[in-house]
């Protein structure tokens, strides 16, 4: 049996301070880098109208979209290509499963503007990138789909 080798690349932190019960309480999320500072988070924003507040699913979607775009840029570079633009949108779905809130999927939509590649080649590169994205692997228990479009404009 082969043992996987591990080497730390990065560690990042975020903190949420919460007050009150779930339904009416509020939290504030701040990242260690300071890029996210004092973002309001509530259960209502998670399950209803966001009203300017964020949620764990929105933050997970942001992480997935940004991670996938980086993985795709890497694989494009491995093929001697560079994107003029990659527009990656992630939609993370929270559903009740066995009476518990569960993230069940992350749907990625990728629209790429890449010179010197056709639709089939772009699809193959996107598929390769999907296997490299660490956030995709984090979501390995959820269904992850990628809908990619090459924008030839």
pTM score above 0.85: yes
Sheet-wide strand order for 83-97: 83-97, 100-114, 143-150
Q: DSSP secondary-structure letter at 32? A: T
At a CB cut-off of 8 Å and minimum separation 6, what does 47 contact? 94
Name the band, by pLDDT with cuts 50, 70 and 90, for residue 3: confident
**Which residues sit opposite 144 in a β-bridge?**
106
- pLDDT tens for residues 64-95? 999 999 999 999 999 999 999 999 999 999 99
pLDDT-derived band at 144 (thresholds 50, 70, 90) equals confident
- Domain ranges in the chain are 1-54, 56-150
CB distance 72 to 86 below 8 Å: yes
* pLDDT tens digits along 6-46: 888 888 999 999 999 999 999 999 999 999 999 999 999 99
Residue 1 has pLDDT above 80, yes or no: no
Q: Note the pLDDT of residue 6.
A: 83
Query: Which DSSP helix (H) or strand (E) runs through 84?
Result: strand 83-97
What is the DSSP secondary structure assignment for residue 52, as one 8-state letter?
Answer: T
Rounded Cα–Cα distance for residues 19 and 14 (Å): 17
CATH code of the domain made up of 56-150: 3.30.300.20
Question: How do residues 95-142 score in pLDDT, each as one tens digit?
Answer: 999 999 999 999 999 999 999 999 999 999 999 999 899 999 888 877
Closest C-alpha among 79, 144, 143 to residue 116: 79
């Amino acid at each position: 049996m082969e043992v996987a080798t591990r080497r730390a690349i990065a560690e990042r932190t975020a903190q949420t301070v919460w007050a009150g019960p779930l339904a009416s309480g509020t939290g504030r999320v701040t990242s260690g880098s300071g890029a996210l500072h004092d973002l309001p988070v509530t259960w209502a924003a998670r399950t209803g109208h966001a009203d300017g507040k964020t949620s764990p699913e929105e933050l997970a979607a942001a992480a997935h979209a940004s991670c996938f775009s980086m993985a795709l840029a890497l694989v494009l570079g491995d093929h001697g290509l560079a994107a003029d633009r990659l527009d990656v949108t992630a939609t993370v779905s929270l559903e009740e499963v066995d009476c518990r809130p569960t993230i069940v999927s992350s749907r990625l939509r990728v629209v790429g503007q890449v010179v010197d590649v056709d639709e089939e080649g772009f699809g193959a590169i996107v598929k390769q990138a999907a296997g490299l994205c660490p956030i995709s692997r984090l979501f390995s228990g959820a269904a992850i789909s990628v809908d990619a479009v090459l924008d030839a404009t």
